[in-house]
A and B are shown apart, each in its own frame.
Chain A
Amino acid sequence: MTALQERARKVVLSTVSSDSHTWNLVFLQLLLEEHGFEVVNLGPCVPDEVLLDAVREHAPDLVVISTVNGHGHLDGARVVRRLRADPLTCSVPAVIGGKLGIRGAGDRDKVHALIEAGFDAVYTDSADADELPAQLELLAATGTAGRRTPERVA
């Protein structure tokens, strides 16, 4: 498939509005670039409107939200609902991952709530970085159709 690919798939990489961590974003940018994605990295503390504007402007193949401050289940759900509510951004595949709550393994229920809110996949703490790019490639390729496929819960 990669041989037929016409251009690099574009990813908007972001975190949520309350999260000031950046090393996760630096790492993911490198990882995604190494796997052929073109990455627009929005940096830390991204207000919802900034993320929406970036998606409208860049029309990416995929939105990746990484957050580790424990507020991801709230802030993430809010921003993805806005993403799905806007006609310009509603069809872009979006995933979220990281430390989504503050209870570690006890945050499993939050995964379903986030899928419910509009994410196509949710990656928790124990996700394997080596498999991630291939899965994202698949998501980006299949587009929103992927959203209704069996939920990806790592």
Chain B
Amino acid sequence: MSGTPDLQEHVRRAKEAGKLVVQPRMGFAAPEEMALGLRAVARARATTIGTITLDSYTRVGDHVGARRALGAGHPLNGYPIVAHGAHLTEAVAAYAVDDRTPGAEPIPVQVRHGSANPRAIFRTAIMAGLTASEGGPVSYCLPYGRTPLAESVRNWDAAVVELADGAGERGARAHLETFGGCMLGQLCPPSLLIALSVLEGLFFAQRGIPTVSLSYAQQTNPVQDVEALAALRLLAGEVLPSHVDWHVVLYTYMGVFPRTAGGAGRLLDASAELAVRGGAERLIVKTAVEADRIPTVPENIAALERAARVADLATRTVSAVPWAADADCSELLDEARALVAAVADGGDVGKALVRAFAAGVLDVPFCLHRDNLGLTRTRIDDDGRLRWAHTGRLPLPAPARSDGRIGAHRLLSMLRFTADGHDRAALRERTPRALPADRPYRVAVVGSGPRGLAVLERLAARLIADPPDGPVEIHLYDPVEVGCGRIWRTDQPPWFLMNTVAGEVTMFSGPPDGGPARPGAGPSLAQWWQETDPACPGPNGYAPRPLYGRYLRFLLDTVERSLPPRVTLVRRRTEVVDLVPDQGGYLLRAADGESLRADRVVLVTGHPRPSLDSAQQRLADFAADRPELLYIRGDSASDMPLDRVPAGAKVGVLGLGLSFYDVMVALTIGRGGRFEEDGGALRYLPSGAEPVIVAGSRSGVPIPARGRNQKPSRYAYRPRVFTADRVRALRRAGRIDFRAEVLPLLTAEMELVYYATEIRGRFGEDVAERFAAEAAADPASIESLAAHFGVADLPRLDLDALSRPFAGRGFAGREEFTAALLDLIDDDLRHAEQGNVDGPVKAACDVLRDTRGVLRLAVDYAGLTPGSHRGDFLSWFTPLASFLAAGPPLLRLRQTRALIESGVLVVVGPSVTFDADPASGRFTAVSPQVEGARIELDAMIDARIPAPHLDRDLAPLPSRLREAGLWTGYVNTHGDERFETGGVAVTGAPFHPVRRDGRPETGLHVLGIPTEHTRWFTQVGSGRPGSWGEFVRDADAIAAGLMSGLPATDRADRADKAERAGELL
């Protein structure tokens, strides 16, 4: 007896050939019918595996009942393997070969059963040469029956050992697929499915099963499902022993199925695409009729062939679904890892599972089994993702948003979420819309900077994947330049540069794929720049801002060209000055007098021009009274009236950050000056039209350069100490004190990188890796560990000293200070030249950039106490982090040096005060740490980016939204403490503003800078190649929200509650 072929090997070969393996859930009582079914599966135009699904008598061990039913001719809902016996079953399984293709190999056959005690089933199967099956001690116990979990574990323990040994004795490799990735079929958050799947896989491996497959069932949101498949793969790699051979199997949706054939077909198609994009090797399909009756053989074959066709196409079509490699699965992975870690302690996972459920460390939402505590609940978010509503005693952070009880009707709509969505989509496809043809669905995007364009890009990708059947209008507003916005407008001078290298910038949500550029697949800024400009310096070059503006406009043109029929883009170069709710939508009024009625509005208004604070106002007023003086307020440098600064005038510049460099360059290169290479340094050749720039800040140091970039475009840093896990644990424990709880982790991470970089330079990669591993295990002793590794001579990494190098120092005069500053700049240039991978200082500072996502987890939506948020974080840490990690290109520091030497630039010193002196009628600058006369000035420029603050934003639209109670300021409250942050209060994705009455305004979305302080570091102007970061995910969540507003047809809407309930009652 040879048995059927090895399942795992079959899957491996298919993967090599680029084919998705598809498999039915097929089972018939009659041996002849079962045999012919297997043959049809083998003949199908697809790469298949055969299935023998058992009946429910056999499932519960009632083999006598099965025989009796067979004898009486009563129908069974599957193949009674024990009743039919091994001999007959072997003959049936032998039909699993494509007899019409000469030389075709038989296909593997898997036994599917659903039994909490599969011993007899496995025994018969082995004797019949069938060594592949599925299930699990948890997944075939908790959802269905009353068998105590401990008993199920004992049953499975014996059965699995017997299967492993029995197959081995026959020279075959047993295969078991977990059912843990499905559980109740729906409404289980993906992280728990992943964890259960991996734990059951480990249970099988510990009992000698050599080949395993890990299941995951399609849920409610395709992007989340891709993330889940990616996380499942990573976690299985971490947890399963290396000698086990495994693959990932996806189940087509296992919950309430669409009622229309069109909807069911779409759901099947979506699962095939998900399998391919998510990297699953095998797909178990469902047919449209499954909910009502046992599907026939032709129905099964049709589903298999359809899935195979879609899978082939999925590699080539535009899709709203990302590839696993582009999905950011860190959140799911962290959650699933925490669950597995809390269960698997290295011992027997069987006993551990029983303990875990008893303690509520594992707890399946809505599961009624008495061994399941039942303290957890799931909810479906506005973006369609499954999230925890209650985490019970799971080792996971409490949900960020608590929204109370899940009631009966909410449960019903969640159960029907997928079915209804697909039915609606199918109906839309066929039926004319209910709305009159002259009433399109209108989306207004207010602001066409990167945030607005990112939403448009994702909206377009989704509209292409799921074309609407009625007209859709997208109105894109921008008062300055439609397609790039004010900050990136294309008519600004080319000497203003971006602060991110071109290779790290993209506005397409997926890489180019050989086809035409389109939403979801297009070039990064560097790729586009290289194609369009022979002078492009490569991916590590810093692009001029107007060039990025042109790239943004290229994106918008590409989006517009790609829109499906009936979707139109309207570009409106005007400012939206008013917005009022109107008949379920909004009435927008623009500065040019035109009005628009929109169904949904995305508010992405970007950098504000807030009113001046009192100190600024005093200086402005001082200049206003004196025509010979000039005061220029803080703004984007290209919008400052810098032409008005006279040649030869002394102009004070407050702030030595990124804007300072813009002002500096505008007043030198912009005035006709040039820089020339001169013996390794730069020399400035003045034009004579420059003013004298007198600059200063609190630190007295121009913000240091970013290290020469040595990181590849798709680089992603994996923290070892400052991990998302640790931060989530902090959040779970309550409000966070930044200085006491977060900072030590972050500095340890920086120190780790600092020393590891030095060690790598001196002793090689292996030693550095060993150091890093030991340091991660004991973050408190990194310094002494570093000494032990032979780098005791490296100066300590002192963030305060790095960010305030002149603190506490006095200088006898300007010359002494300038000499010290030039030394400091030379030092910085040396560090920057070493690069952000090879230079210890710059590599350590880059940690601040690379872990922004982790920091957001601690800070966003009031993670910190109000006091710590305002004091530690915003007043102290944020400026420090900007100083150390947000530096300009290295070139700017070389230019600064040259300008100081030429006398065009004077840096006043630390702790500078700029003031107005009524006696002399001039502005003044003085540093208390540098001896000598104060400097009198003819003009003042505030070169600090104005901090956004809702109450101080005087633009018409924010004022109106505030007055109408549609926008409110976000207040961080904790006990008696209150911190009014000044950011617009928004919900989690898809970011609805929170109204004055505390409810979300669900027709509006707010993204980017207006929400700063509710969320942190929103001033991001581009996505990054590689996995979807928050920039793309946030935009996509809003795009999904906009799609959900597409009008449904009246037929889909008519699915009244009674009918829906009827299926469950």
Residues of A bordering B, CB below 8 Å:
18, 20, 22-28, 30-31, 34, 41, 43-47, 50, 66, 68, 97-99, 102, 123, 125-130, 132
Contacts and interface: CB of A to CB of B under 8 A. Distances in A.
A25 B56 contact: no
B146 A44 contact: yes
Contacts of B346: none
Nearest to A69: B56
A30 B406 contact: yes
Contacts of B184: 22-23
A27 B143 contact: no
Given A26-B366, A126-B1059, A31 B56 contact: no
A126 B1062 CA distance: 5
B412 interface: yes
Contacts of B146: 43-47, 50
B145 A45 contact: yes
Given A45-B144, A98-B1065, A127-B1065, A30 B368 contact: no
A24 B408 contact: no
A60 B56 CA distance: 32
A20 B408 CA distance: 20
Given A22-B367, A66-B1065, A98-B1065, A30 B1058 contact: no
A130 to B, nearest CB: 6
Contacts of B56: 18
Most chain B beta-carbon neighbours within 10 Å: one of A25, A44, A46: A44
Given A18-B56, A30-B411, A34-B407, A132 B368 contact: no
Contact of A22 (B143, B1062, B1063): B143
Contacts of B144: 20, 22, 44-45
B820 interface: no
Interface in B643-702: none
B370 A126 contact: no
A98 B144 CA distance: 18
B408 A43 contact: no
A55 B1058 CA distance: 29
Contacts of B408: 27-28, 30-31, 34, 129
Nearest to B59: A20
Contacts of A31: 408
Contacts of B143: 20, 22
A43 B369 contact: yes
7 contacts: A23-B256, A27-B408, A30-B406, A30-B407, A97-B1065, A98-B1065, A132-B1065
Contacts of A20: 143-145
B112 to A, nearest CB: 15
Nearest to B114: A20
Given A44-B144, A50-B146, A126-B1059, 11 more contacts: A20-B143, A24-B1065, A28-B1064, A28-B1065, A43-B369, A126-B1062, A127-B1058, A127-B1065, A129-B412, A129-B1061, A130-B1057
B971 interface: no
B411 A126 contact: no
Nearest to B368: A43
Nearest to A104: B292
A73 B407 CA distance: 29
B1065 A129 contact: yes
B1061 A127 contact: yes
Contacts of B1062: 125-127, 129
Contacts of B145: 20, 44-45
Interface residues of B, number: 27
B412 A27 contact: yes
Contacts of A128: 1057-1058, 1061
Contacts of A41: 368
A36 B412 CA distance: 19
A130 B1058 contact: yes
Nearest to A20: B144
B742 interface: no
Contacts, number: 86
Contacts of A129: 408, 412, 1057-1058, 1061-1062, 1065
A135 B17 CA distance: 61
Q: What secondary structure prevails in chain B residues at the interface with A?
A: loop
A45 B143 CA distance: 11
Contact of A24 (B367, B370, B1057, B1064): B1064
Most buried by B among A23, A25, A66, A123: A23
A123 B293 CA distance: 22
B1063 A125 contact: yes
Nearest to B410: A30
A23 B1064 contact: yes
Interface string B396-434: 000000000011100110010000000000000000000
A143 to B, nearest CB: 23
Interface in B188-222: none
A17 B1057 CA distance: 28
Contacts of A66: 1065
Nearest to B370: A43
Contacts of A46: 146
Nearest to A30: B408
Interface in B777-803: none
A66 to B, nearest CB: 6
Which 7 A-B residue pairings sit nearest by Cβ, starting from the closest?
A: A129-B1061, A31-B408, A30-B408, A43-B368, A128-B1058, A20-B144, A24-B1064
A78 B406 CA distance: 34
Contacts of A30: 406-408, 411
Interface string B293-314: 1000000000000000000000
A125 B370 CA distance: 28
Contact of B366 (A23, A125, A126, A132): A23
B1058 A26 contact: no
Contacts of A47: 146
Interface in B134-165: 143-146
Nearest to B143: A22
A26 B173 CA distance: 40
Contacts of A44: 144-146, 368
A76 B368 CA distance: 21
A26 B1057 CA distance: 17
Which of the listed residues B408, B415, B1059 has the most CB atoms from chain A within 10 Å of its own CB? B408
Nearest to B412: A27
A6 B1016 CA distance: 53
A126 B408 CA distance: 17
Contacts of A97: 1065
Contacts of B411: 26-27, 30
B139 to A, nearest CB: 13
B383 to A, nearest CB: 23
Contacts of A127: 1058, 1061-1062, 1065
A47 B147 CA distance: 12
A130 B1058 CA distance: 7
Contacts of A99: 1063
A25 B368 CA distance: 9
Contacts of B1058: 126-130
A99 B1062 CA distance: 8
Interface in B60-107: none
A50 B145 CA distance: 13
A123 B1065 contact: yes
Interface in B1015-1065: 1057-1059, 1061-1065
Nearest to B1061: A129
A130 B366 CA distance: 22
Contacts of A27: 408, 411-412, 415, 1061, 1064-1065
Contacts of A102: 293
Nearest to A50: B146
Nearest to A28: B1065
Contacts of A98: 1064-1065
Q: Which of B369, B1059, B1062 has the most CB of A within 10 A?
A: B1062
Interface string B359-383: 0000000111110000000000000
Contacts of B367: 22
A125 to B, nearest CB: 5
Given A43-B146, A44-B144, A126-B1059, A22 B368 contact: yes
